[in-house]
Amino acid sequence: MLSESPALEINVRKICENTYRVVEKCHEAGISVLGVTKGFSAIPEIVTAMVAGGIDGLADARLENIIEMRDKGFDQSMTLLRIPRLSNVHNVVKYADISINSEISVIQALSQAAKEQGVLHKIILMVDVGDLREGILTENVLMAARKISGLQDIEIIGLGTNMGCFGGILPETENLGLLVYLGKLVENRLGIRLPIISGGGTSTLRLLENGEVPDGVNQLRVGEGILLGTDTTNQRTIPWLHQDAFCLRVEVIEVKDKPSVPIGTIGRDSFGNIPQFVDEGIRKRAILAIGKQDVYIEGIIPADDTMKILGASSDHLIVDITDSEQNIKVGDEIAFSLTYAGLLSVCTSKYVTRVFKEANLCL
């Protein structure tokens, strides 16, 4: 890289401390924690911070990230968090210890692949308790578990559910209780043991704080809370975690006073939308060297709350700085905090440099 801007500043100590706090609280309740690495493309320095904070295993939605973590020497148990592609079962079996699943045809293919490689592949059967993303409907769980338990080279180690992702459904004592109940039903009817009941991610931490996670739930898969100290599904910050482990810094490339309404006939913007403007007179605007190619614009928030993002094209971000007390000039940097969606996007952009702070980890 020729320049360190835009830069994602990452405080690995704060991520380590967040991990430690989540792990401590979960362990007190008999719950193990998978550190979810997809939110930051499994950047190894951050994975190291999660490991130092005591996570019980690593989990990612992308097999590519799991392979990279294996290559970097992480020897923790790896769980694949996106249900596998039928076309990719050989690699799933080769690189992931555990995968989450909801399709019998895929599980059969995993079984075949495991046989060919001479390994035992473990799966968690996903149950849809209402969010309507992945998972078997509750009434079909027993039948599916019966089919899976008859397969060679596959071990069903538990049931899991996902919430707060597609349907925005909150984890509650009732829907998690249903998962626990189904686990017991499968154990009793099929005479097998299901050591894991995996009860969601960050959004379940709120229940944990209130002592409302039903007995029997013994695993959470946590990303957002550890990284950002926020819980988007419950619309809250988590008071016992750091919210500022990440900061995006972007350089200013133009500062000018301009009218707030464009001049001329309005067609479409560069993304095909018809823009609309409110006339606020002449405003002081900064253009920053980042754009929609790098970042989900709705997912970044100026650290100076008097600044307002006006919009962006593929490579330019336009910010109203009229009300800021900082005397922003060309060449200065403006700082932003990130939402989970913002973090995902900047970690995926090859144009954003990563700068690590407080690398001596936690506690």
Ligand X SMILES: *Cc1c(COP(=O)(O)O)cnc(C)c1O
Q: Under the rule (CB under 6 A), what is the footprint of ligand X?
A: 36, 38-39, 61, 81, 162, 201-202, 221-225
Return the number of the residue (59 or 321) whose C-beta is nearest ligand X: 59
Are 18 and 246 contacting, i.e. CB atoms less than 8 angstroms apart?
A: no
Q: What is the C-alpha separation between 312 and 341, in angstroms, rounded? A: 16
CB of 325 to ligand X, least distance (A): 35
Cβ distance to ligand X smaller for residue 243 or 260: 243
- The distance of closest approach from Cβ of residue 148 to ligand X in the complex, given in angstroms and rounded to an integer, is 18
Closer CB to ligand X, residue 222 or residue 295? 222
**Contact at 8 Å (CB) between 58 and 362?**
no
Residue position matching structure tokens 């059967």: 125
Smallest distance, Å, CB 228 to ligand X? 9
Report the chain's terminal Cα–Cα distance, integer Å.
Answer: 32
Instruction: Classify 14 as helix, strand or coil.
Output: helix
The encoded tokens of residue 94 equal 């080769």
User: How near is the Cβ of 66 to ligand X at its closest, in Å?
Assistant: 13
Pairing of strands 246-259, 7-11: antiparallel
Note whether 79 and 58 are within 8 A (CB).
Answer: yes
Q: Answer for the pair 83, 55: CB distance below 8 angstroms, yes or no.
A: no
User: Residue 38 catalytic?
Assistant: yes
List, as one string, the DSSP characters of 233-278: TTTEE-TTS-S-SEEEEEEEEEEEEEESS--S-----TTS------
Q: Which is nearer to ligand X, 84 or 302 (CB)?
A: 84
In degrees, to the nearest 5, what angle opens at C-alpha 128 toward C-alphas 125 and 132? 135
Long-range interactions of 91-99: CB distance < 8 A, separation 24+: 91/63, 91/67, 92/63, 92/121, 93/117, 93/119, 93/121, 95/63, 95/66, 95/67, 95/70, 96/63, 96/66, 96/121, 97/122, 98/122, 98/123, 98/124, 98/157, 99/123, 99/124
> What is the gyration radius of the CA atoms in the chain, in angstroms?
23
The distance of closest approach from Cβ of residue 257 to ligand X in the complex, given in angstroms and rounded to an integer, is 42
CB of 341 to ligand X, least distance (A): 11
Rounded CA separation 343/18 (Å):
16
Question: Which residue out of 25, 38, 94, 308 is catalytically annotated?
Answer: 38
CB of 203 vs ligand X, minimal distance in Å: 6
Instruction: List active site positions.
Output: 38
